[in-house]
Amino acid sequence: MSFTAPVIEWAGLTPVLIILGAGVVGVLVEAFVPRSVRPAVQALLSLLAILASAVALSGRWSVVVAVGSGRELTTGIAEDPFGVAAQGILLAIGLLAVLVMADRTTADDGAFAAQAADRPGSAEEEESIHAGWVATEMFPLTLFSLGGMMLFPLANGMITLFVALELVSLPLYIMAAMARHRRLLSQEAALKYFVLGAFSSAFLLMGAAFLYGVSDSVAYSVIAMAIGGGGVAGMDWLALAGVALVTVGLLFKTAAAPFHAWSPDVYQGAPTPVTGFMAAGVKATAFLALVRFYYVLGGTLGWDLAPFLWTVAILTMAVGTVVGVIQKDVKRMLAYSAIAHAGYMLIGIIAWNGMGVSGLLLYALTYGIATVGAFGIIGLVRTSHDGAPGAEANDLEAFTGLGRRSPWLAGAMTVFLLSFAGIPLTAGFMAKFEVFIAGIAGGATWLVIVAIVSSVATAFFYMRLIVLMFFREPDGDRVVVVGSMGPAALTIGLAAAATVLIGVLPQAVLGSLADAAMLLP
């Protein structure tokens, strides 16, 4: 019996291997490093791993641009300028998210439970809090999820796509249940996320089985050729059903309607740093994986799939806009904002042109940075118990007068909200502009018109929060703003600066992302 060893280009996988290797080391740190120094060790390990991965990735960018085309690193994993650019965006989001997770506030607490295994309200939980224990498991879990995110846009085979999906999702199911306050709500959110995440995996697997039946292969390129050549006689419906089911599985992760039901509850219940990481990273990586799947494979079905995608995009924008207007909880409001943004990003998929790819890369970057920054601010606004800070105050009224309580936090939040609204001179405006221009060039003019109307309507709930922060007096002593010990403040500052800088001087970023789009195979 002979065995053929697989050919693996390890150099191309180095950025991902650094992240996953650091995750494994993080597990060993949990087992052997004393609890007192574990938070600092885990945070430093995670940050160094992300920076080292970014250095390795910069070397890969020069290689793929010089080669001028993509290549397989191993079966099911492709490396090209699009994939390397996508990984860079995800590393930027991961770096900001880890900084927020590592933060300790002036209230001497964090966003995570002292011990996630303690029963909420039990004597054991009180003992853990009294002992000053700090959960650190989220750092290796974040690295594992980030490693999966970096593999997701490189996947060019159905098996790799499914494995990367699970690697992204499984750590997040655990992290969603680790909130320090409102523990039962956090655990409910994790259960909902797990159950509906299992549905998304089932859709993707069924679609992959259908596509295998059409092509006798799990590789994107082979499936695309089989569909283009007619596949099995009389089985065109099987190819269409397969592509639609895989698309549904990915749309679950983007929180596109009607596959969005998990999003508001999970955003509200999960620890706020995890919500920021999930809202920015999962949405970005799912859309970037959808780019490769649709542009290489799904787009071969052309107009057969267009009614489905148009319907989902319009419904997503409508749900995100209409339901978002009536929200009273800021985390749920941003959840419905994210749903509306998923509808805008779908225009880049439907456009099926190079501008759509570069527009989606820019959208993933700008939306991700602003989202992590916004949730970093939310974590610092707390309920007041006779002046002592308690749980996060997430209702909109809690932000009343924030401009007087903390002008710099209110100013940064305003920058992020204006970017979400697509106001000129912000990064969000440039991202929307690029995607909408791509949609018009791709024949989706009416869809772009719907998106513009939706974007104008969503500006209402962003402006409402700005008005509360700057044009209303603080509501007594019901709310207290705690200070960051450094990491969260750094994240908010970097995110706000990047949002303004990309909005004012977008040429360098747009040029690099255009190169990535042009060289997509």
Q: What is the pLDDT of residues 326-371, one digit of tens each?
A: 999 999 999 999 999 999 999 999 998 889 999 999 999 999 999 9
In a domain, 356, yes or no: yes
Q: How many CB atoms lie within 10 A of CB 5?
A: 5
The answer to whether residues 179 and 118 touch, using CB atoms and an 8 Å cutoff, is no
Residue 61 Cα distances to 7, 30, 70, 80, angstroms: 21, 34, 11, 8
What residues are paired with 381 via a beta bridge?
A: 481
Residue 110, pLDDT score: 74
* Single-letter code of the amino acid located at 143: L
Give the largest CA-CA distance in the chain: 79
Closest listed residue to residue 164, CA positions, set 102, 257, 250: 250
Residue-range definition of the domain harbouring residue 396: 10-518
In a domain, 2, yes or no: no
pLDDT in tens, 122-142: 777 777 777 778 888 999 999
Record the tokens describing residue 118, joined without a space: 């303690």
* pLDDT band for position 11 (cuts 50, 70, 90): confident
In a domain, 5, yes or no: no
First to last CA, the chain: 37
**Rounded CA gap, 256 and 243, in Å?**
17
Closest listed residue to residue 252, CA positions, set 201, 298, 317: 201
Residue 447 Cα distances to 94, 367, 433, 442, 443, angstroms: 32, 20, 14, 11, 9
- Predicted TM-score of the model (pTM): 0.95
In a domain, 108, yes or no: yes
**Rounded CA gap, 215 and 286, in Å?**
24
Q: How many CB atoms lie within 10 A of CB 317?
A: 28
**Rounded CA gap, 12 and 417, in Å?**
37
The answer to whether residues 507 and 399 touch, using CB atoms and an 8 Å cutoff, is no
Residue 15, pLDDT score: 96
Mean of the per-residue pLDDT values for the chain?
90
* pLDDT band for position 296 (cuts 50, 70, 90): confident
Point out the least confidently predicted range of 3-12, 285-294, 362-371, 482-491: 3-12
In a domain, 88, yes or no: yes
In a domain, 370, yes or no: yes
In a domain, 1, yes or no: no
Work out how many domains the chain is built from and give that number. Answer: 1
* Bridge pairing between strands 381-385 and 479-481: antiparallel
CA 336 from centroid of its chain's CA atoms:
14
**Rounded CA gap, 177 and 116, in Å?**
8
The answer to whether residues 254 and 204 touch, using CB atoms and an 8 Å cutoff, is no
Q: What is the mean pLDDT of residues 192-200?
A: 92
In a domain, 349, yes or no: yes
Residue 134, pLDDT score: 81
Taken as a whole, the chain contains a residue count of 521
Phi, psi dihedrals of residue 219, rounded to the nearest 5°: -80, 135
